[in-house]
Homo-oligomer: A and B are copies of this chain.
């Protein structure tokens, strides 16, 4: 038995609502499971259910939410999990804090899912943008609340210009390049 299971890491997908964070993270997760990694997907909705019930969308509540995800991600990384986070996480400072927490135990890979507000609003999968533009939702990122793009992301994927599978492939290539998934794996 070992004190710390080696090999844990966190891939943190940040971007606007509807950018495709969850979709790409799921595809990455499926491939990581095929590689026999123990995946934990901390998706925005899962987290709001299990960790952050009661928190809203003010800056302080958003910060608390992201900080909580970062803390759990760091604990799981310590124990060897392949952690996938998909969360708007709009503030650079809180993403940096998450990185610091995680890097105490394993790699932190920030993936900016970079899709324009116009494209996200056009997709409007959940019908939220229409309501946000109509003023029915306060604190909606990109509409009535800020989004700070990563200044130095480990990877940028643009699901507006490529298929989500292609984006997932590039994430997996990056993980192989960083040595956090096995060399020579079919990724």
Q: Which residues of A contact B (CB under 8 A)?
A: 1-5, 7, 33, 35-38, 40, 50-51, 53-55, 64, 67-68, 71-72, 75-76, 78-81, 182
Contact = CB atoms under 8 A, between A and B. Distances in A.
Contacts of A76: 75-76, 79
Main secondary structure of the interface of A (DSSP, over half): loop
A72 B51 CA distance: 9
Given A68-B51, A71-B51, A2 B36 contact: yes
Contact of A1 (B36, B64, B68): B36
Given A3-B38, A38-B78, 16 more contacts: A1-B7, A1-B35, A1-B36, A1-B182, A2-B36, A3-B36, A4-B38, A5-B5, A50-B67, A51-B68, A53-B64, A54-B55, A75-B76, A75-B81, A76-B76, A79-B79
A76 B79 CA distance: 7
Question: Which 4 pairs from chain A and chain B are nearest by CB?
Answer: A79-B79, A50-B71, A79-B81, A1-B36
Contact of A3 (B33, B75, B182): B33
Nearest to A60: B54
29 contacts: A1-B7, A2-B36, A2-B38, A3-B36, A3-B37, A3-B38, A4-B38, A5-B5, A5-B38, A5-B80, A38-B78, A40-B75, A50-B68, A51-B51, A51-B68, A51-B71, A53-B64, A54-B54, A54-B55, A54-B64, A72-B72, A72-B75, A75-B76, A75-B81, A76-B79, A79-B79, A79-B80, A79-B81, A80-B80
